[in-house]
Structure 1
Amino acid sequence: MFKGFKEFIAQGNVIDLAVAVVIGAAFTAIVNTIVEQLINPLIGLLFKAENLDKAFIVTVGDAKFGFGPVIAAVISFLAVALVVYFAFVLPMNKYKARQAAKNPAVEEPTLPSEQELLIEIRDALRKNNAS
C-alpha cells in the first residue's frame, strides 16, 4: 500500500505541482501587497477615493454594491498571471525549445490510415478480378 503511494509522490508531476503551489502562494503575497499599496492608491487618486475598496460603491436601497473591490481583485489576478507568465512560463518554454533543438525528436514512421488500407485492398481485389 505504501509502495504505490511512494511511487505516486516520487513522480515529477506531483513534486512540480507542490513547488508551483508554494511559490505561487508566496508570490501572491508579494503581488497583493504591490496591488494594495501601489496600484489601488493610484487608481483611487483618479477616482477621488482612498483606494479601490472605497471607489465605485453603488447604493440601491439598503444594499451597497462595491465594484471597486472586484476591480482590485481582477487587477491582482492579472498582475499575478502576468508575473507568473514572464517569470516561469516564458523561460520554461524557451528552455524546452533549446532542449528540443539540441535533441531533435526522431520521427517514427506513420502507419497508413484505415481509408488508405481499404483503398489498397479494393485496388488489389480489382486487379485479381481483372486477371
Structure 2
Amino acid sequence: MLSGFKTFILRGNVIDLAVAVVIGTAFSAVVTSIVSAIFNPLIGALFNAETLATALPLTIPTTSGGEAVLYFGAVLAALIQFLLVAVVVYFAIVAPMNYAKKRADARKPVVVEPEAGPTEAELLVQIRDLLAKQNG
C-alpha cells in the first residue's frame, strides 16, 4: 500500500500540479491586492463610493422593518479580478507555451508515411477480374 502511494506521489504530473496550485495561490494574492488597492478605489470613485465593494448599492426593505443593502460593486470587483487573472495567465503562460510548441513543431522533421497499398481484398478482386478477362 505504501509502495503504491510512493509511486503516485513521485509521478511527475502530481508534483507539477502541486507546484501549479502553490504558484496559483500566490499569484491570486498579488492580483487580489492589485484589484483591491488600485482598481476598486478608482472605479469606486466613478460611482462616488469609497471602494468598488461599496459601489452600486441597492437598499431593499426586509420583512422585519429593517433594510438590507446589496452591493453590486462587489460582484463587479470579483469579475474584474477574474478577468485580470485570466489575462495574465493567458499572456504569461498560455501564449508563450503555444509559441514555444509551434517553434518546436516547426523544428521536428516531417515524416512522410508511404501510401498504403491495396488491401488483400482489393488484390483478390483485381486477380479475379484479370482471370475473368483472360478466360472470357
Q: Classify the TM-score, shorter chain.
A: 0.7 to 0.9
Q: Give the partner amino acid of 1:48.
A: N
Question: C-alpha deviations, 1:19-38, integer Å up to 9, x for none?
Answer: 11111100111110000000
Question: If each structure's helix is expressed as a fraction of its own residues, which one has the higher value?
Answer: 1
Q: Which residue of 2 aligns with 1:74?
A: 79
Residue 54 to residue 110, structure 1, CA distance change in 2 (3 Å): farther
Alignment-derived partner of residue 93 in structure 1: 98
Q: Which residue in 2 is equivalent to 1:124?
A: 125
Runs of 4+ displaced beyond 6 Å? none
**Residue 38 to residue 109, structure 1, CA distance change in 2 (3 Å):** farther
Q: What are the Cα deviations for residues 56-115 of structure 1, in whole angstroms up to 9, with x where unaligned?
A: 11112133222111110110111111111111111112122222222246466798xxxx
Give SS of 1:92's match: helix
Aligned to 1:17: 17
TM-score of the two chains, using structure 2 as the length reference: 0.75
Taking the TM superposition and a 5 Å limit, the aligned residue runs for 1:2-81 are 2-62=2-62, 63-81=68-86
What is the alpha-carbon root mean square deviation over aligned residues?
A: 2.9
Length, aligned pairs only = 124
- C-alpha distance in structure 1 between counterparts of 2:56 and 2:115, whole Å: 60
Instruction: Find the structure with the greater CA-based Rg.
Output: 2
- Report percent identity of matched pairs: 53
Distance 2:32 2:74 in 1: 13
Unaligned runs of 5+ in 1: 112-116
Residue 42 (structure 1) shift: 0.5
Paired with 2:14 and 2:99, the residues of 1 have a C-alpha distance of: 23
Alpha-carbon spacing, 1:29–1:108, altered in 2? closer, same or farther (3 Å): farther
Code of the aligned partner of 1:124: V
CA distance in 2, matches of 1:76, 1:109: 53
